[in-house]
Amino acid sequence: MPNRRVLPLYTVRAGVHDLFGRLMRRDLFIALLALGAGVGAALLVLGSERERGPVAASAALALVVGWAFVGSGLIARRQRPENRLGTVMVFIGFAWFATFLADAGSSLVFTFGKALESVYLLGFVYLVLSFPTGRLRSKLERALIAAAVVIVTVVEIGWLLFADSRSQICAGCPGNAFEIARNDRIANGILQGQRTVGVVLSLFTVALLVRRWRRASAPERRAGAPVLWAGSAMFAALAFSVVNDIFNHPLGEGPAWTREVVFASIPVAVLAVLLQRRLARGAVAGLVVELGGATSVELREALGRALGDPSLELAYWVPASARYVDAGGSPVQLPQPGGERAATVVEREGEPIAALIHDPALTDESELVRSVCAAAALTLENARLQAELRARLAELQASRARLVEATETERRRIERDLHDGTQQRLVSIAMTLGLAESKLAADRPAVQPVLREARDALTTALAELRELTQGIRPAILVERGLAAALDDLARRAALPVRLEVAVSGRLPEQVEGAAYFVVSEALANAGKHSHASEVRLGAWEEQGVLVLQVSDDGIGGAAAGGGSGLRGLADRVEALGGRLTVSSPPGRGTELRAEIPCA
Q: Cα(413)–Cα(18) distance, rounded to whole angstroms?
A: 79
**CA angle, 358 as apex, 352 and 359 as ends, to 5°?**
145
Q: Cα(527)–Cα(533) distance, rounded to whole angstroms?
A: 10
- CA torsion angle 434 435 436 439 (round to 10): 120
Query: How many residues does this entry show for the chain?
Result: 599
Which residues face 500 on adjacent strands? 538
Closest CA to 316 of 393, 396, 380: 380
Which residues face 358 on adjacent strands? 342
For 156-169, give the DSSP string.
HHHHHTT--HHHHT
Determine contact, residues 239/203, Cβ cutoff 8 Å: yes
The alpha-helical segments, DSSP class H, found in 80-183 are: 85-98, 107-115, 119-130, 139-149, 156-160, 165-168
Closest CA to 597 of 582, 580, 581, 577: 577
* pTM, to two decimals: 0.63
Q: What is the pLDDT along the chain (599 residues), one digit of tens a residue?
A: 333 334 344 433 444 445 455 667 888 899 999 999 999 988 888 887 665 567 778 888 888 999 999 999 999 888 888 889 999 999 999 999 999 998 888 899 999 999 999 999 999 999 999 998 888 989 999 999 999 999 999 999 999 999 888 888 887 788 899 989 889 899 999 999 999 999 999 999 999 999 999 988 888 888 888 999 999 999 999 999 999 999 988 888 889 899 999 999 999 999 998 888 777 776 666 666 666 666 767 778 888 888 888 888 888 888 877 788 888 778 888 888 877 888 888 887 778 888 888 888 887 777 788 888 777 777 777 777 777 777 777 767 766 666 666 666 666 666 666 666 666 666 767 777 666 666 665 556 666 676 677 777 777 766 666 655 555 567 788 788 899 999 999 999 999 999 999 988 889 888 888 899 899 889 988 988 889 999 999 999 998 899 999 999 999 887 655 545 677 778 778 778 888 889 888 888 999 999 999 87
Determine contact, residues 155/173, Cβ cutoff 8 Å: no
Cα 152 → chain centroid: 42
Q: Cα(267)–Cα(271) distance, rounded to whole angstroms?
A: 6
Determine contact, residues 240/259, Cβ cutoff 8 Å: yes
| Number of alpha helices (DSSP H) and beta strands (DSSP E) in the chain | 20, 10
User: Does the CA dihedral 319-292-334-401 come out positive or negative?
Assistant: positive
Q: Which residues lie closer than 8 Å to 339 by C-beta, 6 or more apart?
A: 360
Closest CA to 96 of 73, 121, 76, 130: 121
165-197 b/e with 16+ CB inside 10 Å = b?
beebbeeebbebbbbeeeeeeebeebbeebbeb
Q: Cα(299)–Cα(296) distance, rounded to whole angstroms?
A: 5
Question: What angle separates helix 254-282 from helix 119-130, to the nearest 10 degrees?
Answer: 40
Closest CA to 393 of 328, 452, 473: 328
Determine contact, residues 580/569, Cβ cutoff 8 Å: yes
User: Does the CA dihedral 294-299-305-310 come out positive or negative?
Assistant: negative
Residue 579 burial (C-beta neighbours within 10 Å; 0-12, 13-18, 19+): middle
